[in-house]
């Protein structure tokens, strides 16, 4: 494989992970301009630079050299080993997302662990164009569906399966100060 395909793979993986050029630059320690030049094949990066970029994408260096669109058949991980992802201004609302299959190129599911802590702001109702499976691992949450009048208190071990485009929001319940969940999103059709 030539370096043109490597640069295309970097862009493809970054976009698949819904990561911006700015986010990849920050995670890899390079400038936004350098990442853009690499992706557009305007600069030939060193192996050391490619290794840092691969690591920021959650990949091994060799993964960048796979043919476009191909990925490894499996990838091991750990529940506590997710890659933190910023999405939908989540930190403002006391929510942290950790992608569990971050380095798996071409995946059809997106598993995350999500941590909930108190915040000054409450997130508005949101919808996804994907289906979602939710498993509460720790704590107590109030899961609101459609509006603030339809809520369900969830405790450790409770699950919820949501079809696409259902308005919902999650709040810590009562005096609970933290909660943790496993969420699996499907890929959009």
The DSSP secondary structure of 134-188, one letter per residue, reads: EEEEESEEEEEESSTTSEEEEETT-EEEE-TT--EEEEE-TT---EEEEEEEEPP
The CATH architecture assigned to 83-186 reads Sandwich (2.60)
- Residues β-bridged to residue 185: 110, 132
Contact indicator for 180, 150 with CB cutoff of 8 Å: no
Per-residue pLDDT of the chain (189 residues; tens, 9 = 90+): 467 778 888 888 888 777 889 999 998 999 999 998 888 888 888 889 998 998 888 888 887 877 654 556 777 888 888 878 777 788 889 999 888 887 676 678 889 999 999 999 999 999 988 899 999 999 999 999 999 999 999 999 999 999 999 999 999 999 999 999 999 998 766
Q: What is the CA radius of gyration of the chain?
A: 19
Distance CA 171, CA 167 (A): 14
- CATH: 1.10.3210.10, 3.40.190.10, 3.40.50.300, 1.10.260.40. Which one for 3-65? 1.10.260.40
Provide the strand spans (E) within the chain: 83-85, 95-99, 109-116, 132-138, 140-145, 151-155, 159-162, 168-172, 179-186
Q: Nearest CA to 53 among 2, 122, 6?
A: 6
- pTM (two decimals): 0.69
Of 88, 112, 90, nearest to 101 by C-alpha is 112
Domain ranges within the chain, ordered by starting residue: 3-65, 83-186
């Amino acid at each position: 494989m030539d370096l043109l395909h490597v640069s295309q793979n970097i862009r493809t993986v970054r976009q698949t992970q819904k990561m911006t050029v700015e986010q990849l630059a920050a995670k890899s320690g390079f400038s936004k301009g350098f990442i853009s030049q690499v992706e557009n094949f305007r600069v030939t990066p060193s192996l050391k630079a490619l290794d840092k970029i691969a690591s920021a994408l959650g990949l091994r260096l060799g993964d960048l050299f796979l043919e476009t669109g191909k990925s490894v058949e499996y990838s091991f991980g750990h529940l506590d080993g997710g890659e933190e992802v910023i999405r939908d201004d989540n930190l403002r609302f006391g929510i942290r997302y950790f992608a569990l299959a971050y380095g798996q190129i071409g995946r059809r599911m997106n598993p995350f662990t999500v941590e909930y802590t108190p915040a000054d702001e409450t997130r508005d109702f949101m919808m996804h164009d994907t289906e979602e499976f939710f498993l509460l691992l720790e704590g107590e949450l109030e899961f609101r569906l459609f509006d603030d009048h339809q809520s369900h208190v969830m405790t450790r071990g409770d699950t919820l399966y949501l079809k696409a485009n259902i308005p919902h929001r999650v709040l810590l319940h009562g005096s609970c100060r933290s909660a943790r969940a496993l969420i699996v999103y499907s890929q959009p059709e």
